[in-house]
């Protein structure tokens, strides 16, 4: 999950899809653009990431037995690399959104959940797990089976 830390009021907050979320002092904000892409804005915003799978694993372990050693209840998270392709400054995210409109339909891999899009006729894109692909740009000339095409909002 993607979070924002405000360096001014030191608040940490989670992002949502439809609506921009702000910290209490208003110097940091952010939102999701789709299931994967999120952006942050404001001069005090610092992007944070928690690895979901590890977070859930640690949470389940804690539910079972909260006296386990801390190492078993720990999860990975930290500051997001500033060059991340899925969590970026809002100016960059706007650019990506514009670029997305130039490409073909976007589709989700039913196995790994990765979202793929072919940007032009010869652009071949595979998902993270390698089971799905899409190519052909706007005409989407070829794709693997079972792809879930996304309705753009
Ligand atoms: Zn703040
Ligand atoms: Zn996949």
Summarize pLDDT for 56-115 with one digit per residue, the tens: 999 999 999 999 999 899 999 999 988 888 899 999 888 887 877 888 999 999 999 998
Query: What residues flank ion ligand 1 with Cβ within 5 A?
Result: 6, 8-9, 23, 25, 27
- Measured in Å, residue 143 CA sits from the centre of ligand 1 at 44
- Measured in Å, residue 77 CA sits from the centre of ligand 1 at 20
Map out the domains of the chain as residue ranges. Answer: 2-96, 103-149
pTM: 0.66
Which ligand sits nearest to residue 6's alpha carbon? 1
- Residue 136 is predicted with a pLDDT of 93
Closest CA to 87 of 127, 42, 39: 39
Query: What residues flank ion ligand 2 with Cβ within 5 A?
Result: 109, 111-112, 127, 129, 131-132
Are 113 and 64 in contact by the 8 Å Cβ rule? The answer is no
- Residue 110 is predicted with a pLDDT of 94
User: What CA–CA distance (Å, rounded) separates 107 from 87?
Assistant: 19
DSSP three-state, residue 93: helix
- Measured in Å, residue 1 CA sits from the centre of ligand 1 at 19
DSSP three-state, residue 64: helix
DSSP three-state, residue 149: strand
On average, the pLDDT of the chain sits at 91
- Measured in Å, residue 101 CA sits from the centre of ligand 1 at 33
Question: DSSP readout, 43-70?
Answer: TTEEEEEE-HHHHHHHHHHHHH-TTS-H
């Amino acid at each position: 999950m993607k979070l924002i830390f405000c360096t001014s009021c030191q608040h940490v907050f989670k992002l949502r899809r439809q609506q921009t979320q702000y910290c209490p002092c208003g110097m940091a904000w952010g939102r999701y653009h789709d299931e994967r892409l999120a952006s942050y804005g404001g001069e005090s915003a610092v992007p944070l990431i928690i690895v979901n799978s590890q977070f859930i694993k640690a949470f389940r372990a804690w539910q079972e037995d909260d006296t386990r050693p801390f190492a078993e209840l720990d999860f990975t998270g930290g500051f997001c690399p500033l060059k991340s392709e899925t969590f970026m400054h809002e100016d960059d995210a706007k650019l990506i959104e514009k670029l997305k409109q130039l490409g073909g339909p976007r589709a989700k891999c039913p196995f790994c959940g990765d979202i793929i899009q072919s940007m032009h006729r010869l652009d071949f894109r595979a998902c993270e797990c390698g089971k799905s692909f899409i190519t052909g740009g706007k005409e989407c000339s070829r794709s693997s089976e079972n792809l879930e095409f996304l309705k753009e909002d």
